[in-house]
Amino acid sequence: MDASTLALSRIGLAGLAVMGQNLALNIAEKGFPISVYNRTTSKVDETLDRAKQEGNLPVSGHYSPRDFVLSLQRPRSVIILVKAGSPVDQTITALSQFMDPGDSIIDGGNEWYENTERRIRETSERGLLYIGMGVSGGEEGARHGPSLMPGGSFQAYKNVEDVLLKVAAQVDDGPCVAYIGEGGSGNFVKMVHNGIEYGDMQLISEAYDVLKIVGGLSNSELADIFADWNRGELESFLVEITGDIFRVKDVFSGGNDELVDKILDKTGMKGTGKWTVQEAAELSVAAPTIAASLDCRYLSGLKEEREDAARVLKEAGIREAGEVLVGRSIDKKRLIDDVRQALYASKICSYAQGMNLLRAKSIQKGWNLNLGELARIWKGGCIIRAIFLDRIKKAYERDRELPNLIVDREFSREMVQRETAWRRVVGLAIESGISIPGMSASLQYFDTYRRARLPANLVQAQRDLFGAHTYERVDRPGSYHTEWTKLAKQGKTGVGALN
């Protein structure tokens, strides 16, 4: 196709798999003529067919990087949606040779933020502007309104701001997009979003397990409970789809059974949860709920080992999960209400961990992230969208320096109101051998964070004893070391010397 004979497109998109195709159609539907390109050209034709079927949308297909780039208005803006990693580098190489200084590349993939920072440097040597943009919402979000997290060149953002504002999901306080910050901040924020998503999914699965094993609830009862929860404080995409999942029948059993019971209990993953936990460790930020959800995915992968372990321990005399409760009367109504409260309180702790990771990274990198604004752009379009993100937004608006969501005046009150129910659920699960690593990690996080004095004094003493690492005192300044072993053997009171 000779681009010079055609009207130029407002924007281009390269990479037409699930995300790219849908985002391109979304952009076109919002009235922005778009050029599309894919390495395997059959996907260009697929996209053009869909554009025709879905309302003759203004999409022009291109079969070579050159034609594609030259079909764009200047300064050119190209969104890339290919598999993260080297496919992005290869796509940049293929396209950038036809681009001019001032043109922009916007990578919408789930990219490791340092790769984006490297590409910002590399492309800037050629005068190109670069953005790493988190895109959340899966196929449906990409087509009808995702949450967008663009970070990198502010000028590149300004060049496409009008497009992004229209394409993003729309909520009561605006489109779910905002300029995130410099460097790889957009990718980092998307990564933490996914880590929080891991936590949410784990917590929901634990609520399901407790209700099923302790309460003996059927899938149809669970469907009703989740639908009911979705009308209250837990209203969210993940709670809504969970309710829907319980209603789907299995075709292979002639519609007698529910599909959810036929699914192999091994969780897949693509890496963003692992990155979140690695980064939390690097930055010394406690993220136990997110880490527990990642560990649980690893353990779920050991299906055969788990089956063997179940057999070996059964032979050794262990009782099945929930067996200890047999014969005990369970107040189902109270259990359901307790689990709802435990889920909510656990979620607050999980989001607190994600937000604090973002803050720590923002300080380290000088990104100046606005946590309230991040909560706002997650209110719609993305997988973790939830009514309570509005409350998180307001908490950070009340105090931009809020050290932890747990101590926000509204959240602290809610946690205390739910504390007893939360402990009942965790206690019941532990007693009956039901693993709830996410809910108990959240509760332990809460119980550790809220205590003015921890047994860390003893750990410091141990460190000083075996490694002369010194310690500080609660009653006077300075750094101290004590000859613990010598003094203990002499039976004397240790008098620490100033270091």
Q: At what angle do helices 332-365 and 288-301 cross, to 10 degrees?
A: 110
Which tokens hold the place of 468? 């002369």
Give the residue closest to ligand NBP by C-beta.
109
Q: Name the nearest CA neighbour of 349 among 203, 231, 139, 495.
A: 203
Which stretch of DSSP H or E encloses residue 497? strand 497-498
Q: Which is nearer to ligand NBP, 267 or 404 (CB)?
A: 267
Q: Which residue has the tokens 């050629």?
A: 126
Q: Where does this chain touch ligand NBP (CB under 6 A) — which range of 39-47, 149-157, 285-293, 354-362? A: 39-47
Nearest approach in angstroms of CB 116 to ligand NBP is 12
Taking the C-alpha atoms of residue 101 and residue 297, their distance in angstroms, rounded to an integer, is: 45
Nearest approach in angstroms of CB 45 to ligand NBP is 12
What is the Cα Rg of the chain in Å?
Answer: 26
Among 40, 56, 329, 493, binds ligand NBP (CB under 6 A): 40
Q: Which is nearer to ligand NBP, 138 or 301 (CB)?
A: 138
Tell me the site size for ligand NBP, rule CB under 6 A.
23
Q: Which is nearer to ligand NBP, 136 or 404 (CB)?
A: 136
Q: Which is nearer to ligand NBP, 90 or 155 (CB)?
A: 90
Q: Where does this chain touch ligand NBP (CB under 6 A) — which range of 48-56, 64-72, 80-88, 357-365? A: 80-88
Contact 322, 284 (CB under 8 A): no
Residue from 197, 240, 258, 279 carrying the catalytic annotation: 197
Q: Where does this chain touch ligand NBP (CB under 6 A) — which range of 77-85, 249-257, 325-333, 412-420? A: 77-85
Report the site for ligand NBP in 10-29 (rule: CB under 6 A).
15-20
Report the site for ligand NBP in 83-142 (rule: CB under 6 A).
83-84, 87, 90-91, 109-110, 135-136, 138-139
Nearest approach in angstroms of CB 421 to ligand NBP is 34
How open is the CA angle 232-238-241, to the nearest 5 degrees?
95
Among 81, 149, 168, 389, binds ligand NBP (CB under 6 A): 81
Taking the C-alpha atoms of residue 432 and residue 38, their distance in angstroms, rounded to an integer, is: 53
Phi, psi of 211 (to 5 degrees): -65, -35
Determine whether 197 is an active site residue: yes
Determine whether 190 is an active site residue: yes
Nearest approach in angstroms of CB 90 to ligand NBP is 4
Any bridge partners for residue 171, and if so which? 174
Q: Which is nearer to ligand NBP, 41 or 444 (CB)?
A: 41
Q: Where does this chain touch ligand NBP (CB under 6 A) — which range of 36-44, 178-186, 343-351, 393-401? A: 36-44
- CA-based diameter of the chain, in Å? 95
Calculated CA dihedral for residues 193, 196, 197, 198, nearest 10 degrees: 130
Taking the C-alpha atoms of residue 298 and residue 405, their distance in angstroms, rounded to an integer, is: 29
Nearest approach in angstroms of CB 84 to ligand NBP is 4
Which stretch of DSSP H or E encloses residue 461? helix 456-467
Q: Where does this chain touch ligand NBP (CB under 6 A) — which range of 26-34, 37-45, 287-295, 486-494? A: 37-45
Among 35, 38, 71, 442, binds ligand NBP (CB under 6 A): 38
Nearest approach in angstroms of CB 63 to ligand NBP is 12
DSSP for 414-432 reads HHHHHHHHHHHHHHHHHHT
Q: Which is nearer to ligand NBP, 16 or 72 (CB)?
A: 16
Phi, psi of 94 (to 5 degrees): -65, -40
Nearest approach in angstroms of CB 21 to ligand NBP is 8
Q: Which is nearer to ligand NBP, 385 or 391 (CB)?
A: 385
Among 27, 28, 57, 82, binds ligand NBP (CB under 6 A): 82
Taking the C-alpha atoms of residue 371 and residue 161, their distance in angstroms, rounded to an integer, is: 20
Nearest approach in angstroms of CB 38 to ligand NBP is 5
Q: Which is nearer to ligand NBP, 69 or 339 (CB)?
A: 69
Nearest approach in angstroms of CB 47 to ligand NBP is 10
Show Cβ contacts of residue 180 under 8 Å, excluding neighbours closer than 6 positions: 134, 149, 150, 151, 186, 189, 367, 369, 374
Neighbours of 119 (CB within 10 A): 23
User: In the chain, what are the helix, strand and coil shares in percent, each to the nearest 5?
Assistant: 55, 10, 35
| Residue 289 within binding range of ligand NBP, rule CB under 6 A | no
Contact 78, 88 (CB under 8 A): no
Which stretch of DSSP H or E encloses residue 171? strand 170-171
Contact 45, 71 (CB under 8 A): no
Taking the C-alpha atoms of residue 99 and residue 92, their distance in angstroms, rounded to an integer, is: 10
Report the site for ligand NBP in 137-196 (rule: CB under 6 A).
138-139
Residue from 190, 274, 347, 393 carrying the catalytic annotation: 190
Nearest approach in angstroms of CB 136 to ligand NBP is 6
Residues with catalytic function: 190, 197
Site of interaction with ligand NBP (CB under 6 A): 15-20, 38-40, 43, 81-84, 87, 90-91, 109-110, 135-136, 138-139
